Each structure stands twice: as C-alpha cells, then as structure tokens.
Structure 1
C-alpha cells in the first residue's frame, strides 16, 4: 500500500512538472523564404525602421531588443553604433482579434435533444457564446545593405486568448530564425522556450 502511494505521488509530481514545463514553451507556425547564397555568412546588421515605426521609437526599440537574441543565435552581430551593418533587418509585429461564436449545429439543428415537443431547443434564448482569440505574428526581413536585395524572409505566428505579446516576442523571433538560412514555404510548427520572468 505504501509503495502504491509513493508511485502515485511520483506520477502526480511528474504530471505537474510536465505541465509546468509546457507552460514555459511556445509553439509557433513558421514559414521562411530564402534567397541566401550558399557561400555567404551571417555578419553585422542594423535595424531599418519604417516611417511609421520611427513615430513610435520606444515601441520599435522594445521589439528590436526582442529580436536580437534570435539574430545573434543565427550568427549575426550588431554593427557598432553609428556604423552601417553588412545587412539591414526589418521587423514587424502584429496582433489581430477574431470573435468566434460557439453555435454547434449538433445541439440546434437536428442533433441530440434538438427538439422538444416539436419545437427546437434554444429558440429565443440566444445561447451563442462569443469568444475572442488573438492571432499573433512576427515577421523579419534581411537585406543586403549595399544592393538592397532581400535575402531572407521569415514569419512566426500563433494564437491565444490574450492580446499581450511582449513576453512572447523573443520566443517567436527564435522560432522564426530557427532554421536560418534554410527556407521552406511549407509552414511548420516550431517550439521554443519562453524567457523566464
């Protein structure tokens, strides 16, 4: 009996730890497009901001800081301050909300218990339940600075019940750059670690 309780406690502890580990990971859908020459190496980079991003410099800085780990993990280094890098990097972040309604036809249109005394259940009750989901996406474009030629484009996306994205950005950029310099138009799921808070 004691041994059974110990084994049960160990199983419960393992399940809890596995659940905790899962909450520190993020899975994103990634698509990458590469025109990267096989012999070319990663080098120094500078961020290039669009005019709209320049208007929100503080926000742009936070997003750029979130992308640095992924770029450096792929072999890039920031250009010294005031100098142009070998590459320019443009990045973007987007969050969009969609409202889904749970109106399952199983219950309302001929399914189980759909009719009572010849009348459909739910008539006049308005039981559709709205739920807001947030689609979150990061995108990154690397160009040769001298020619302006785009060499690598990648994006990572996921969704969830929160519009908050700042804590997810480093993991999403890591996912986007995971297979650099390889490209694949076929999307794939990539799981990365969330930074500890």
Structure 2
C-alpha cells in the first residue's frame, strides 16, 4: 500500500469516527431555564400522594394530556406519588404551560436583538457555521406548578420556570422545564436562578 493511499484511508477513518461522535452527541442537548420557587414547605416533610386538578378552561385542551404527562415525571422525581384515588390525595397540583411567539421588527436596532448560530463562511461546497447571527423570531416558554394541601386547600409550594428558543416546544422541552422548576424542592429560592436539564432529541 503506497503512502498516499494509506493517508487517504487513515483520513477516511478519522472522518467516519468524527461523524459518529457528532451523531451521538447530537442526540442530547442541554436546556437552561430561569427558575423561581416559593412557599413554606416544612424541612422534615417529604412529598406525598398527589392528583392533578384541571381548571375549567383546561379541560378541553388537546395537548393537555402530554403536558400533564411531562409534569408527572417531574413531580415523581421530586418525591411525589400519584394517588390511586384523587379524592384521597395528600396534595392537589395545578400546572400551566404556555409558549408565546415573539417577532422582531426589521427596523429594530440590531444591538438589542437576540442572536443564534446561523452565520456562515467559506466556499459554497464547504460552508461553516458560526454563533452570531440575528434571529427574526423566538418563542418564550413558561411552566408553572402550584401544590396545595387537599384537606385545607392551602398553597404550600409554587414553582415557575421560563426559557426561550427557536421552537414552540414539545413535551420533552416542557418536561425538562418542569424538572427545572421542581429541582429546588422541598427548598425554595424566590430569586430567579438558572437550572440546566439534559433533553433527548
């Protein structure tokens, strides 16, 4: 085998390994949310059984089941367990989720606008992407969790998380945000702080 062919095979193997690594890494990403939590949860008390309560305006939502499923995973990671009978649950949980589209005016000063990875350089057949291009629109996503004692109706814990991105979000995105929102439980931190959660694509 001549030296030229040997170098070509070695380069091909290296590029193949790099591509496989990139594909593997691309299957997960980190979502960072701004979180604030409130309440007076007793330090020695753990999460008990819960039932999710829907408001009248939430009962006919087509996507409600998916959002509640995402919230349930986060609640159970925080130490709560689903009640076999909603009327006997220790806690009643209300959840909310929304995504708001923000569009930017073409006349808006670029200094104040958000950025995303989309600029490129190089010849057309070898284009590289960099991290600083203006984006025209973004979605502001928010989730909220309110935990009340079923017997008294007293609110005992409230958590909120927000993030923004280029997509409206799905149950995986909202699931990560619910996990971020409940990451402080049972402690509270009313000062907004950042929490990162790994999300599978």
Does the pair score TM above 0.5?
Answer: yes
Please, which of 37, 40, 47 is the counterpart of residue 45 of structure 2? 40
Please, which of 20, 23, 26 is the counterpart of residue 26 of structure 2? 20
SS for the counterpart of 1:185 is coil
1:86 aligned residue? 90
1:161 aligned residue? 166
- Kept in 2, the 8 Å contact 1:136–1:165? The answer is no
After the TM superposition, which residues 1-197 of structure 1 pair with which residues of structure 2 at under 5 Å, given as runs? 16=22, 20=26, 23-56=28-61, 58-81=62-85, 83-101=87-105, 103-104=108-109, 131-196=136-201
- Kept in 1, the 8 Å contact 2:58–2:64? The answer is yes
Structure 2: distance between partners of 1:40 and 1:166: 30
1:125 aligned residue? none
Structure 1: distance between partners of 2:76 and 2:92: 14
Deviation digits for residues 85-133 of structure 1, max 9, x if unmatched? 1000000001111112354378xxxxxxxxxxxxxxxxxxxxxx98121
Q: TM-score, normalised by structure 2?
A: 0.72
Structure 2: distance between partners of 1:144 and 1:195: 33
Q: TM-score, normalised by structure 1?
A: 0.73
- Kept in 1, the 8 Å contact 2:141–2:169? The answer is no
Shift of 1:156: 0.9
Shift of 1:16: 4.2
Structure 2: distance between partners of 1:17 and 1:187: 34
Shift of 1:82: 5.2
Identify if the C-alpha distance between structure 1 residues 63 and 130 changes in structure 2 by more than 3 Å, giving closer, same or farther.
Answer: closer
Shift of 1:83: 4.2
Structure 1: distance between partners of 2:72 and 2:82: 8
Identify if the C-alpha distance between structure 1 residues 82 and 40 changes in structure 2 by more than 3 Å, giving closer, same or farther.
Answer: closer
Moved over 6 A (4+): none
